[in-house]
Chains A and B, each alone.
Chain A
Amino acid sequence: MGVIQVQEPGLFTTVQDLGREGFGAMGVSASGAADAISLRLGNRLVGNDEGAAGLEMTLLGGTFIFPEGALLALTGSDFGAALDGQPVELWSSFEVKAEQSLRLGPTRTGARCYLCVRGGIEARLFLGSASTHILSGLGGHEGRALRKEDALKIAAESRVIHERRMTARSLKELQPRKVLRVTEGPQSDWFPESARRLFYESRYRVAEESNRMGIRLEGAVIPLPSSGDMISEGVSLGAIQVPEGGKPIVLFVEQQTTGGYPKIANVISADFHSLGQLRPRDEIRFERVDSETARALLREQKEFLASEELLFE
């Protein structure tokens, strides 16, 4: 069985798959890859099921050694990867020979880069998923971000020999967006029209303290509804809540399952992967769409991801 040795972990690298839906009544959020599309495609590039566990790197990548070799793919943002000093291409599978070292650096584009390996990373499942839930220290590799000298097992799989890559057209299609499309939030109409207008007309900057739980935004302060009489309720992925102080927070993959702040809007499902590529200091804005449009965009995305011309060998 293959192994990945962690020589340098990078800034914040965790084991992620597509998460664990269905445990909201226990207070457990779904978690999973912040840019699920990149993880899914990375897995397809190495011939895995889309939901196999891979490594999610954040802003600064790590250095990994493969004592027995492996078939890999890197997807998401460009972290300047090099295999024994030779640059490797993103979005295509490549063979790593025994004892070769893969080194990634700081990002040149978005927030996250995924490393997928033929067979997937073997991790003890927590509630059916290998996804690391940092806050509770559960799932993934010992419930935490990787450290120097960790060793991760690669699940056994007969190795495919051929390599796969993505078409140029499909890569263009997958560019993360900086204008995020949203539908109305459950408390949208608590906010006066002037507050909503301000929200949609403003540019927001992603704050440094953003993480997998929430993306904090700096910019126009949204006036709160007159009296704060909100009862805690279940919150959706991508909900944009406005806490006291008026700085919006987008609830993200490792979100709290319930919350007591009014939500002015909700990022549409088709744009979740774009949230996962937002870096601190990125500038974004929001564009309102109706639920029919949101559904149509999600269907389009699903069909695009299922299309034949997406990858080739």
Chain B
Amino acid sequence: MPVPLGRRGVRYTFASMDTAAGVGARFQFSSDQSLLVYFDQLKEQGRARARPQQSQITLQANEKVRRLLRLLESEPVAGVRNLHPAYCSLLVKFDALRLRHEEVEAILRGYLERLDEVSLPEPRLVEIPVCYGGEFGADLAEVCAMSGITAAQAIEMHVSVEYLVYFLGFVPGFAYLGELPEALVTPRLATPRRKVPAGSVGIAGNQTGVYPFATPGGWRLIGRTPVAMFRAEREGLSMLTIGDRVRFAPISAERFAALEKEWA
């Protein structure tokens, strides 16, 4: 079972929440036209709606998210307008003049009972070439200093793992990948950058990811890929899809330049 990685004040922990009945679902009012389904476990605080003291993310909860998403995509509910999956939750947006929250919840409960029937697609393995350090990975040296490792070790660790795409969020094509080897677990920057170059590979907590566009960002940058992560003209648009597996492959600056031309 994965061990909690919540060291140095990192927000996210992966831990098992296996119970006989599996991970239960919880519904939460989000807005007048949306509700959240959580696959997590509230730690009992003695109060009915106590805030979870330690939120937990698990592979199991995320798998439920992916199953529910797939079921809702293959059998759409009339009046449901959008779905925003995340680590252990799914935001369901709907036409509030057509459906009430209670109705959406009742329909979703029916879907939840059938989650075991859902077959998830065979995960694709996507390799992403990365040029680490230097101008492409402005925070690599600091990450190494914080963890007491060399740049070569950090790169070796980052490429050693086959990551899971937990979900896409934030901006088009931004994949939340987990989980990082423990020695690379590093908090976000105290002050986010106003603009992170497109293709930047960052780490935050026990997550890693690639910025598809030049956006503001608080993750620590360790490298950059020349590959376009989201392109309007490409079928599927996004390089990565929820549930994919990802490996990073180190490349030289020369190779980066050559690939960048190919992708331009």
Give chain A's interface residues, CB within 8 Å of chain B: 21-28, 30, 126-127, 133, 135-138, 143, 183-187, 189-190, 225, 227-239, 256-260, 263, 266, 268-269, 291, 294-295, 298-299, 302
Give chain B's interface residues, CB within 8 Å of chain A: 11-12, 28-34, 36, 38, 40, 49, 51-55, 57, 69, 73, 81-91, 93, 96-97, 100-101, 167-174, 176, 212-213, 215, 230, 232, 237-238, 242
A87 to B254: give the CA distance in the assembly, Å.
60
> Given contacts A136-B172, A238-B31, A256-B170, is CB(A30)–CB(B12) below 8 Å?
no
A133 to B215: give the CA distance in the assembly, Å.
13
Majority DSSP secondary structure for residues of A touching B: loop
A151 to B215: give the CA distance in the assembly, Å.
28
Q: How far is the CB of A309 from chain B (nearest CB, A)?
A: 21
Tell me whether A266 and B53 are in contact (CB under 8 A): no
Q: Which residues of A contact B232 (CB under 8 A)?
A: 126, 138, 143
Q: How far is the CB of B82 from chain A (nearest CB, A)?
A: 5
A32 to B142: give the CA distance in the assembly, Å.
40
Tell me whether B86 and A258 are in contact (CB under 8 A): yes
Tell me whether B168 and A25 are in contact (CB under 8 A): yes
With both beta carbons as reference points, the residue of chain A lying nearest to B231 in the complex is identified as A138
Q: Of A21, A233, A259, which contacts B82 at CB under 8 A?
A: A21
Q: Which residues of B contact A299 (CB under 8 A)?
A: 97
Q: Which of B11, B82, B83, B238 has the most CB of A within 10 A?
A: B82
Tell me whether A27 and B31 are in contact (CB under 8 A): no
Q: Which residues of A contact B73 (CB under 8 A)?
A: 25
> Given contacts A232-B176, A234-B36, is CB(A295)–CB(B97) below 8 Å?
yes
A24 to B171: give the CA distance in the assembly, Å.
9
A137 to B94: give the CA distance in the assembly, Å.
27
Q: Which residues of A contact B169 (CB under 8 A)?
A: 27, 232, 234, 256-258
With both beta carbons as reference points, the residue of chain A lying nearest to B35 in the complex is identified as A186
Tell me whether A27 and B174 are in contact (CB under 8 A): yes
Tell me whether B91 and A233 are in contact (CB under 8 A): yes
Q: Which residues of B contact A236 (CB under 8 A)?
A: 30-31, 33-34, 91, 93
Q: Of B32, B87, B237, which contacts A266 at CB under 8 A?
A: B32
Tell me whether B36 and A26 are in contact (CB under 8 A): no
Tell me whether A228 and B11 are in contact (CB under 8 A): yes
Tell me whether B238 and A186 are in contact (CB under 8 A): no
A219 to B232: give the CA distance in the assembly, Å.
40
Tell me whether A232 and B32 are in contact (CB under 8 A): no
> Given contacts A136-B213, A298-B97, is CB(A26)–CB(B172) below 8 Å?
yes
Q: How far is the CB of B243 from chain A (nearest CB, A)?
A: 10
A239 to B53: give the CA distance in the assembly, Å.
23
Q: Of A138, A231, A233, A259, which contacts B12 at CB under 8 A?
A: A231
Q: How far is the CB of A131 from chain B (nearest CB, A)?
A: 13
Tell me whether B237 and A231 are in contact (CB under 8 A): no
Tell me whether B85 and A268 are in contact (CB under 8 A): no
Tell me whether B88 and A231 are in contact (CB under 8 A): yes
Tell me whether A25 and B84 are in contact (CB under 8 A): yes
Tell me whether B88 and A234 are in contact (CB under 8 A): no
Q: Of B36, B52, B93, B172, which contacts A28 at CB under 8 A?
A: B172
Tell me whether A239 and B31 are in contact (CB under 8 A): yes
Tell me whether A231 and B57 are in contact (CB under 8 A): yes
Q: Of B82, B86, B173, which contacts A232 at CB under 8 A?
A: B86
